[in-house]
Amino acid sequence: MKYKITQAQKDFYRQNGYIAIEDFLDDKELETWRQVTDDAVRQRLIERNGMTNQNDPDQYYAQVFVQCVRLADTHEGMAKLMLDERLGEAAGELAGVDGIRIWHDQALIKQPYGNPTAWHLDNPYWSFHSRDAISIWVALDRATLANGCLWYLPGTHLTARYDNVGIGQNMADLFRVYPEWRQIEAAPVPVAAGSAVFHNGLIAHGAGANMTPRPRRAMTCAYMPDGCTFNGQRNVLREDYFNALQIGDVLDDPRQVPLIWKRG
Ligand SMILES: O=C(O)CCC(=O)C(=O)O
Ligand SMILES: [Fe+2]
């Protein structure tokens, strides 16, 4: 795993809000991530009882991708992959924070001829607000312009706000709230299988349709800097924990938001 971050990578990330790290996983690790993700997704879809968008009445969104959230909660192999301190170190060094907690993992499988992923921001959905939240997106298949690689509006993390525009069917809905971003040239990030793309929780990003007859698989994880506080939104919080929280409380339950890395 190529988890050691260089100064040049930090500089690029801070300025643009994303960075691709080619060949982040070696061949053996990639094979493991593929197997574990396929197994965890298969299991989750059989359960059919939560944390997947495949039960949603919104048929458009169900065909953007198969989305399975917090697979590490129910799959031991996935928990082992996600709790890896090296992932936390890479995320923490890029973000420039002192500790990294898991917010949620998420498999995103864009199916053959799946719909595009409209422009959106991630952090406004979550139960904490932070300008330093960061996610990792690992390509389990080569991600290309043809099958729905990620696209970013570089630098938008610097001016984004926390109001949630939501993700709908229209690619351009985000620009109703951020008209000043309309003129920004979008940057596609095609990557080889096993590569990782990190992005800031406030950067505008999306993906094209999958115009191939093969799936575009990605395994991702969203991270919360240590010390973030509850903003009142439920998102993926367990019901009992959510009910016990007051706005402003530090989110530090080790089951809900495990700390995977702390600056030494
Ligand atoms: O995989 C995609 O199409 C979108 C990914 C995304 O929005 C994310 O990882 O936050
Ligand atoms: Fe996203």
Mean pLDDT value across residues 41-63: 83
Query: What would you report as the CA-atom Rg of the chain, rounded to the nearest whole angstrom?
Result: 17
Domain span at 227: 10-243
Structural contact between residues 75 and 188, judged by C-beta atoms closer than 8 angstroms: no
For the chain, percent of residues with pLDDT exceeding 70: 98
Asked if the model's pLDDT at residue 232 lies above 70, the reply is yes
Q: Would you say residue 227 lies in a domain? A: yes
Asked if the model's pLDDT at residue 56 lies above 90, the reply is no
pLDDT score recorded for residue 51: 77
pLDDT score recorded for residue 30: 98
Q: Would you say residue 260 lies in a domain? A: no
Ligand 2 centroid to 28 CA: how many Å?
27
Ligand 2 centroid to 242 CA: how many Å?
23
pLDDT score recorded for residue 50: 67
- Of 37, 66, 141, 150, the one to substitute when testing ligand 1's pocket (max ligand atoms within 8 A of C-beta) is 150
pLDDT tens digit sequence for 174-188:
999 999 999 999 999
Ligand 2 centroid to 8 CA: how many Å?
24
Confidence grade of residue 165 (pLDDT, cut at 50, 70, 90)? confident
| pTM exceeds 0.75 | yes
pLDDT tens digit sequence for 78-103:
999 999 999 999 999 999 999 999 99
Q: Would you say residue 251 lies in a domain? A: no
pLDDT score recorded for residue 166: 82
Q: Would you say residue 130 lies in a domain? A: yes
Confidence grade of residue 167 (pLDDT, cut at 50, 70, 90)? confident
pLDDT score recorded for residue 55: 78
Q: Which atom of ligand 1 is nearest to the CA of 65?
A: 3
pLDDT score recorded for residue 213: 98
What CATH number corresponds to the domain at position 164?
2.60.120.620
Asked if the model's pLDDT at residue 48 lies above 70, the reply is no
pLDDT score recorded for residue 71: 96
Q: How many domains does the chain have?
A: 1
Asked if the model's pLDDT at residue 41 lies above 80, the reply is yes
Confidence grade of residue 49 (pLDDT, cut at 50, 70, 90)? low
Environment of ion ligand 2 (residues, CB < 5 A): 122
Q: Would you say residue 235 lies in a domain? A: yes
pLDDT score recorded for residue 39: 97
Whole-number average pLDDT of the chain: 96
Confidence grade of residue 224 (pLDDT, cut at 50, 70, 90)? very high
For the chain, percent of residues with pLDDT exceeding 90: 91
Ligand 2 centroid to 218 CA: how many Å?
12
